[in-house]
Chains A and B, each alone.
Chain A
């Protein structure tokens, strides 16, 4: 089964880019430019990994991560911070996120990181 990646970002260009890249590497990609009810989004999309922009309407990335991590049903879904913020490492630790992808990124590192959190499924590709 192909791994499904859910990406939250307010920038449509970034989302298109990510779709193109990840699609090329065999991932299924779902993108959202808003985050209102993340639990609903997860329930309907059933992602294997979530990329979360910190600057996302309406509730913001930090809060969204908190919701996911505090929910028993979703807390095991890896969630990576997807931001251009310089303090991304610290924020990651604070929010108890599973990892991060710093913008801008190289395709190589981006795919490596994605794969790392979806490793058991990659073998299939």
Chain B
């Protein structure tokens, strides 16, 4: 709330800042209440206070509510103002209330107090401080005389007191200083030349304690050598111009003690206005020690210098870089050569480190020097890195230095210079760093490379496996360490691995090994394992490091190659083409069987270049040339050549070789083939011969004709048309058989000799010439002298000479020519015929023929040659240039060079080449030919053969092989090829997978031994034998499910389809098979599933079955009871009858016997039933004893004989020896057989028993002559409950007797069987081993 100015009471006016504060203060909130209500005395006190320049304050009421003025404010410091206003003094001065509180209370009682320089500890500026005050506490009385408050007047004297204290201390200190420095004081009056001195001075000079001392007295004490100097100095000082300053050192000698003391006098002269000295005073200081020590210092410095010199000298040759740096600027005082070498620069003494090593400024070296210099502690550098400028290229080079920077101190311990001692350890550090780096790198690499890396201690204990190793094997370090790693090595590889490893540990040699390592899936993969010994400089093994690189794919590839090779061989062995392979360098390394058979040579004889032996010598050079070319270029090799067959004959072959290249195009081998083309070649040669013969004939004819022409006589004539005069040349006379001019020539004479038929023609022709006046030619016949007609060719033309007209011309005998012409016509006809035949041959044999005039270049083609080029016959004019346009670009160079060679050497080069026909078909051609004609104008006549098919066949072989390889390799099924001896020829990748056998392991072995389980081997071999013998194939071309054996000996189901092929008369079997374990399991699962689904049905079925069994049992019981009851009935009946007829003595015996029999039978039946059921449950008991067999038989027979009257039991043979068995049971058997024999022979009167001793056994037979039975029953009679139906009515019984007997005999390791014939009887046998 702002107080209105106008409402301010008068007592509150003024008072500066505190006045404003007090006025604006809300007093109503305090116990004082509004100022308007304040008591008069307070008002007055406030008014006084506000207007007082001194510090005052009022503490009102028992609460000592405070009001204060500006003057008081500083006392409150910075922390108590302005809070103190309006609150209690108790609060404001809590820290001193214990002191001032009692005083305030005293004041309130009316007792004023006052103190000067009263010290109180106040907290007014944030800390406790000693404050000193002069103050008074006065009571402010109310009107009623009571004390209402305290008026405090305060003057802080803290500063004043402090100053006084300081002054006092200063004076004391001065005094102390004078005393401490032991100064003497003197004061000279220049006027009187007397001085005063203090006691010390007097003591030093040995002067009496007079107040005034004569100066000369003092001067006398000064040492003689100094006295004049001092005197002069005093005189000088007293001169105004000297400005009065005096400072001199001299020695005084005590007059009594003679003690020398070096003193320094300092003084000043005071001058008056006239520049006259009126006072000269000063001090005298004993500097004896100082001077002496300085002298000593100088001496010691000298010594130090000497020592340093010595030091420098030794430093100079030290093997370390040594420098001494002087002072705080580190000036070079000394460096040795080594230091300069380290520094890489010349050090100029006197220059600073900074100047010499500007590059070091940023590297903290100055800081280090500073630190050493300041602390005096040496700096030890350990591999301290520094980049120094290389003086040569100016580049910064990082180096490492060991050394010490040692402070050199003076005798007072102050550092005055630094000694730097350093050696460069860069190479060591780098070496170490390299090692560290390489270790780190190794670690980093080993942890990151996708290979397995391990290390081992020198004794071979593995101590590190990289992460890849851990990940790959899925085993922890703990599992792998020591010998733990051995578990991941394929068992077959472990032995070798350990052997090599132990050997390596002994020898310290590195070793490489290929082995299979198990990965975390349990799969083994091939690895190349490389172990290296780590050795120190002395060659001691410090450890081992090893890597395992996965080479499984390579291995697989190698395997594949091997496989492919083997397949190739297998295939190549079966084809009727000569096949060979060669290494990249051309050395032959394989020949198929056909090749060997064809040449009759062994592999050893043919291998490498042995094949050259069988090449026809004339073909050898070219073969080598082409082969070298192929080897150099990797181009296909193709050539026709003659190869020597086993019979010594050379036969023409077309050989073709292709380079086998890997995916990078590198040649990895060659495959070649040779196909015999001898027949074709001979045919071609024959054709050529014919052509040549024909050509020769033509030639001869031409020659003849020519000769005829040349030798023909020609005569000339001249006929003067004007005069009619005719003249003949001599030759003309001769032409017609006359002597020249033998007769008179005339036109008539001429015509007389012309053949009558031709006369008209000649006349007309002559007329025609005369009219046309051109030349003409005629043919007619003339009669010779001998009267024969000759053929004349006459020519004639008209010549006009002057007035005369002449017909001149020649006559020629062309009789021979005409004849020849006729002959030629005939020959030509024949030739034409031949040509046609030839053409036909050409077209059939795919030959074309040509004629090449090498000199003129004229070329002629046969029609078929055009056809071979897929052109119409004579479609174009053949020329070499035209021919070359057909040649395959790749072969062009070869063909051209061949052509040139042909032209130069006159020898035809018969290299096959490719052409591209008009239709774009690539064909392989082979040209051949022979030279004929004149040497200067040679003709090359020959044939061109399309050998595409031969080449294609050879190529196809390779292609097929490749194709087959691919098919077989990629076959989704396992493929096995075996021969008729079950020897494995082929085993593809899938087969390897299924059986675990690699092809290399099993090819050449018997399939039966490899995959057929032992129990089926015989069947397999029998089947094979049967097939080979009879051709009966039970398993061919069917898909069968069989059991096979894998490498681990485990049987598993396969599905197999076998087909058969015949190659070269040998049978091959090709099996495609699949592992159907999974399918089987699936089926089994399906079945088990189904059975689960059908569980209820089965349960029901089971229930039915058990019901059925129960029913059967009931049936049995019913039968049994029925059967048992019958004899029981009988027995009972007879016994009753017996009772009824007891009186009838004669009947008694009979009835008793009957009853006895029935009871006995009943007993037997019950026994049998029990026995049967016991046998069924395996509970029939045997009591084994040793007894006389014969006796047992006799007793039994006797017993049975006793019960029958109808039959006589006759026994033959005997075995009177002890046998071991159950006597009772065997007796039971015999009883059963005898009972049956009697029972089933009701019409007979005897039963035969025979005992025979056979090899190792006794045989007992019981023969009856009864009803017998048919063969069909014989094998059933020993079954339980079996009864021969035909006899069912007459012969009752359960049919279990024989069943029991059979079992008893079987139990005695004997046999039981029977022979029987219906209506003749049966014989039952049993044997017992003895």
Contact = CB atoms under 8 A, between A and B. Distances in A.
Interface size of B as a range: 20 to 34
A14 B1136 CA distance: 14
Given A17-B1133, A33-B1289, A104-B1133, A84 B1140 contact: no
A85 B1122 contact: yes
A103 B1125 contact: yes
Contacts of A103: 1125-1126, 1128-1129
Contacts of A55: 1122
Nearest to A18: B1133
A80 to B, nearest CB: 15
Contacts of A13: 1126-1127, 1130, 1158
A17 B1133 CA distance: 7
Nearest to A84: B1125
B1288 interface: yes
B1126 A24 contact: no
B1137 A17 contact: yes
A125 interface: no
A34 B1118 contact: no
Interface in A60-106: 83-86, 103-106
A57 B1121 CA distance: 19
A20 to B, nearest CB: 6
Contacts of B1292: 10-11
A28 interface: no
A14 B1131 CA distance: 9
Contacts of B1132: 104-106
Nearest to B1141: A24
Interface in B1168-1218: none
B987 interface: no
B1324 interface: no
B1285 to A, nearest CB: 10
B421 to A, nearest CB: 133
Contacts of A17: 1129-1130, 1133-1134, 1137
B1137 A10 contact: no
A107 B1289 contact: no
A11 B1128 CA distance: 12
B1113 to A, nearest CB: 15
Q: How large is the interface on A (under 10, 10 to 19, 20 to 34, 35 or more residues)?
A: 20 to 34
A122 interface: no
A75 to B, nearest CB: 28
Contact of B1137 (A20, A83, A104): A20
A87 to B, nearest CB: 9
B1129 A84 contact: yes
A21 interface: yes
A35 B87 CA distance: 153
A20 B1138 CA distance: 11
B1140 A14 contact: no
A107 B1292 CA distance: 24
B1289 A14 contact: no
A17 to B, nearest CB: 4
Contact of A21 (B1118, B1133, B1158, B1290): B1133
Contacts of A18: 1133
Given A57-B1289, A84-B1125, A14 B1130 contact: yes
Interface in B1274-1288: 1288
Interface in B1103-1155: 1118, 1121-1122, 1125-1130, 1132-1134, 1136-1137, 1140-1141
B1122 A21 contact: no
B1129 A10 contact: no
Contacts of B1141: 24
A15 B285 CA distance: 183
A20 B1144 CA distance: 14
B1205 to A, nearest CB: 15
A105 B1288 CA distance: 25
Nearest to B1129: A104
A107 B1126 contact: no
Nearest to B1132: A104
A21 B1137 contact: yes
A60 B171 CA distance: 169
Interface string B1037-1069: 000000000000000000000000000000000
B1137 A11 contact: no
Contacts of B1125: 84, 103-104
A10 B1129 CA distance: 14
Interface string A17-56: 1101100100000000110000000000000000000010
A21 B1127 CA distance: 16
A89 B1140 CA distance: 29
A10 B1292 CA distance: 8
B1126 A84 contact: yes
Contacts of B1121: 84, 86
Contacts of A84: 1121-1122, 1125-1126, 1129
B1129 A105 contact: yes
A51 B1134 CA distance: 19
Nearest to B1158: A13
A107 B1137 CA distance: 8
B1175 to A, nearest CB: 25
Contacts of A20: 1133-1134, 1137
A69 B1298 CA distance: 41
A17 B1127 CA distance: 11
A53 to B, nearest CB: 10
A21 B1130 CA distance: 11
B1129 A107 contact: no
Contact of B1118 (A24, A85, A105, A106): A85
B1159 to A, nearest CB: 12
Contacts of B1130: 11, 13-14, 17
Contacts of A10: 1289, 1292
A106 B1122 contact: no
Nearest to A17: B1133
A33 to B, nearest CB: 6
Nearest to A12: B1290
A44 B413 CA distance: 170
Contacts of A21: 1133, 1136-1137
Interface string B184-199: 0000000000000000
Nearest to B1285: A57
A81 to B, nearest CB: 13
B1289 A106 contact: no
Contacts of B1126: 11, 13-14, 84, 103
Nearest to B1121: A84
Q: Which of B1125, B1126, B1134, B1140 has the most chain A CB atoms closer than 10 A to its own CB?
A: B1126
A13 to B, nearest CB: 4
Contacts of B1140: 24, 107
Nearest to B1124: A84
Nearest to B1134: A17
Nearest to B1136: A107
A38 to B, nearest CB: 16
A13 B1289 CA distance: 13
B1132 to A, nearest CB: 5
Contacts of A83: 1122
B1142 to A, nearest CB: 13
Nearest to B1161: A13
Interface of A: 10-11, 13-14, 17-18, 20-21, 24, 33-34, 55, 57, 83-86, 103-107
Interface of B: 1118, 1121-1122, 1125-1130, 1132-1134, 1136-1137, 1140-1141, 1158, 1288-1290, 1292
6 contacts: A11-B1292, A13-B1126, A14-B1133, A55-B1122, A104-B1128, A105-B1132
Minimum-distance CB pairs A-B, first 4: A104-B1129, A84-B1125, A17-B1133, A103-B1129
Given A10-B1292, A104-B1128, A106-B1136, 18 more contacts: A10-B1289, A13-B1127, A13-B1130, A14-B1130, A17-B1133, A17-B1137, A20-B1134, A33-B1289, A34-B1289, A57-B1288, A84-B1121, A84-B1122, A84-B1126, A103-B1125, A103-B1126, A103-B1128, A104-B1132, A107-B1133
